[in-house]
Structure 1
Amino acid sequence: MTRQPPGAALTTGALARRLGVSPTTLRSWDRRYGLGPAVRTDGRHRRWTPEDVAVLERMCRLTSTGVPPAEAARAARAGTGARVSRPPSRAAGPLPLGDVRQECRGLARAAVRLDAPAVEARLSEAVERYGVAVAWQEVMVPALHAVGRKWASSGDRYVEVEHLLSWHVSTVLRRRSRPPLPMDATARGPVLLACVPDEQHTLALEAVNAELGQLRVPARMFGAAVPAEALTAAVRRLGPAAVVLWSQARSTASPALARHIAATEWGPKGARGRPLVLLGGPGWAGRSLPGVSRPTGLREALDTLAGLHERS
């Protein structure tokens, strides 16, 4: 084995974190394209030198712009001056992220490559390291917004990137959720989480649901496009402490529905209750409704909802 000074080589796991790919991807590139390390330990463990890292950084840059992996590998080994044929027009390029956490950049690179194991790993690592609220706001949301902007400006391109990323965000959030808590008859009712009618975007509510489970606040998740009549019936049956109404687009936001839910009562005469209604999502921007709360972000919403149950 070629001897290297201490600290000169990286392990596969460390390099994967640096590049924003999965260790499985690095091992696959080694087997398929010969992009292996120049140094291996006596136990055949990979150790990646700065020269190896430079090659793989070129590989990541090329694959993120849609160059086929085999062609990208030849160009990466040849150096930065190598010429490669450009992919068809549907190939996905890098996402416009701006100033974001490094974990978000790694997640975006993995999503553009449609590297599902790496996407799953980056999401799980972010949630484990920062918790749901921070991981959602500072890692998941910027990546999702960047995909959305690319999709909007590129016709039908990036649809597959958005679908894959959304699926794995949902998977990780649901895995983080605890089993629904039973309702205590002596305590306040649960938090109801629902998208307004015609609204299909549920990821933000899934983040709220996961974090409420961690806070031990009972919640009932109704998901996408809940009909107004069904939501009203659920409020009367469950007597919730709060109802969170999510609207992604202004076209789906319904002030009339929000007012109706806020005025819905349950319980016997003389002891009737009403829910606190929280409006979530950009669809509610610019709308101010008396007696209805519009938190500025996930953390404020969670603090409000947890506070209701702390006072019960």
Structure 2
Amino acid sequence: MTSYDEDERQGGGLTTGEVARRLGVAPTTVRSWDRRYGIGPHQHTGGKHRRWTAADIARLERMCALTTTGLAPAEAARLALDDLPLDEALAPSAAAHRDARGKAARSRSRTGLQLGDVRRECKGLARAALRLDAGSLDELLTSVIADHGLVGAWNEVIIPTLQAVGRKWETSGEKYVEVEHFLSWHIAGALRRSGAPAAAERPGAVTLLACVPGENHTLPLEVLAAALAERGLAVRMFGAALPVEALVDAVRRTGPAAVGLWAQSRTTASRPLAQHVAAMEWGVRGARRHPTVLALGPGWAGPAVPGLMRPQGLTEALTALESVMTG
């Protein structure tokens, strides 16, 4: 990977797209900040083409850091344009530079998500979620999935971001519940938009995915369904908290090769239900079939359940299902 200095020498500065990738935000967000708050590059090449210098990017980095403290973008941009170091911009001695709105926002200066050293994409997603910025969040999710693929995006970017938001929610008296819901909703939308067209179904060659009764955490099944479709494997998704009778009826009516049952909590993971589904049979006498059942999620932790597969994580689940579906 080249340094910024090498990039700048090669092209006389970075493009808006390159800057956005470095910061972990959407290019439209960078352009919007430039248009609204004047925090854009000073250098132009070839007419309207804008190039960002190291000083330009440093100001943007200060703005990004300030917005994660709870400051409004306009106030963060004004402080970043003052070229103050971040610690001085947040210090009480800089209060003279703030208006009443800025003072109120500064009181929330320790409410940003703490993501440590995770990928820049995680930080970008967390910032957009914290701002409840739907447009930026959708663009970033689309870009992350395109860059890393469904499995890589889920394992390396989306899960760490969800975990960070969850930790913040747990330690802040549920102050961030709206951020968690907002982020989950947009992730589900991005997964559905990225999915391939439904694969043609062959008898006995479909995977049925559902959350067990009482379980509402659907995101892991959403990404598994999208990844199966991406591989051309037929899948039927039934979502959250499928009642027992409905699950049994769905298995009986579709005759699936595999059934994935998600349980986030041990209180919802029903081993008798999973074993009952695994024992179901259909077909003509002498050629009866039954599904392979995958116990998915942390709720199934503990002693192994006879007759059930228990893959660990998305990659193992995909490998197991591909093996079942392709024979």
The alignment's TM-score, normalised by the length of structure 1, stands at: 0.91
The count of aligned residue pairs is: 306
* Among candidates 12, 15, 24, match of residue 28 of structure 2: 24
Q: 1:234 to 1:88 in 2, by over 3 A?
A: farther
The superposition leaves residues 230-253 of structure 1 with CA deviations (integer Å, 9 ceiling, x where unpaired) of 101111111111110001122221
Q: 1:308 to 1:45 in 2, by over 3 A?
A: same
Tell me, in whole angstroms, the C-alpha distance in 2 between the residues paired with 1:92 and 1:140: 23
CA RMSD in angstroms comes to 2.0
Tell me, in whole angstroms, the C-alpha distance in 1 between the residues paired with 2:21 and 2:114: 20
* Aligned equivalent of 1:173: 191
Does residue 237 of the first structure (1) align with residue 237 of the second (2)? no
Q: 1:72 to 1:208 in 2, by over 3 A?
A: same
192-201 vs 100-109, greater mean Cα deviation: 100-109
* Aligned equivalent of 2:173: 155
The answer as to whether partners of 1:123 and 1:169 remain within 8 angstroms in 2 is: yes
Q: 1:243 to 1:98 in 2, by over 3 A?
A: farther
> What amino acid maps onto 2:118 in structure 1?
V
Q: How does 1:24-103 map to 2 (within 5 A)?
A: 24-78=28-82, 79-80=84-85, 81-82=88-89, 83=94, 85=103, 87=105, 93-103=111-121
* Among candidates 275, 279, 302, match of residue 259 of structure 1: 275
Tell me, in whole angstroms, the C-alpha distance in 2 between the residues paired with 1:31 and 1:139: 29
Per residue, is there more helix in 1 or in 2? 2
Tell me, in whole angstroms, the C-alpha distance in 2 between the residues paired with 1:108 and 1:248: 23
Q: 1:8 Cα shift? A: 4.5
* Among candidates 163, 178, 194, match of residue 145 of structure 1: 163
Q: 1:92 Cα shift? A: 7.7
* Among candidates 131, 136, 141, match of residue 149 of structure 2: 131
Tell me, in whole angstroms, the C-alpha distance in 1 between the residues paired with 2:313 and 2:283: 31
Tell me, in whole angstroms, the C-alpha distance in 1 between the residues paired with 2:115 and 2:121: 12
* Aligned equivalent of 2:3: none
Unaligned runs of 5+ in 2: 1-7, 96-102
Does residue 247 of the first structure (1) align with residue 260 of the second (2)? no
* Among candidates 10, 16, 24, match of residue 14 of structure 2: 10
Q: 1:126 Cα shift? A: 2.0
Q: 1:207 Cα shift? A: 0.7
83-92 vs 144-153, greater mean Cα deviation: 83-92
Determine helix, strand or coil for the equivalent of 2:147: helix
Determine helix, strand or coil for the equivalent of 1:131: helix
> What amino acid maps onto 1:119 in structure 2?
L
Does residue 299 of the first structure (1) align with residue 315 of the second (2)? yes
The answer as to whether partners of 1:20 and 1:118 remain within 8 angstroms in 2 is: no
* Aligned equivalent of 1:198: 214
The superposition leaves residues 164-209 of structure 1 with CA deviations (integer Å, 9 ceiling, x where unpaired) of 2212211111112223233223xx3310000011111111111111
* Aligned equivalent of 1:184: 202
> What amino acid maps onto 2:216 in structure 1?
Q
106-115 vs 250-259, greater mean Cα deviation: 106-115
134-143 vs 266-275, greater mean Cα deviation: 266-275
Determine helix, strand or coil for the equivalent of 1:295: coil
The answer as to whether partners of 1:247 and 1:253 remain within 8 angstroms in 2 is: yes
The alignment's TM-score, normalised by the length of structure 2, stands at: 0.87
* Aligned equivalent of 1:219: 235
Q: 1:98 Cα shift? A: 4.2
The answer as to whether partners of 1:93 and 1:112 remain within 8 angstroms in 2 is: no
* Aligned equivalent of 1:274: 290
The superposition leaves residues 6-65 of structure 1 with CA deviations (integer Å, 9 ceiling, x where unpaired) of 545211111111111222222222222221212123422222111111111111101111
The superposition leaves residues 202-232 of structure 1 with CA deviations (integer Å, 9 ceiling, x where unpaired) of 1111111111111111111111110011101
The answer as to whether partners of 2:71 and 2:106 remain within 8 angstroms in 1 is: no
Tell me, in whole angstroms, the C-alpha distance in 2 between the residues paired with 1:76 and 1:263: 64
Q: Segments of 4+ in structure 1 off by > 6 A?
A: 88-92
Determine helix, strand or coil for the equivalent of 2:215: coil
Q: 1:287 Cα shift? A: 4.2
Percent identical pairs in the alignment equals 56
The answer as to whether partners of 1:279 and 1:292 remain within 8 angstroms in 2 is: yes
Tell me, in whole angstroms, the C-alpha distance in 1 between the residues paired with 2:185 and 2:138: 10
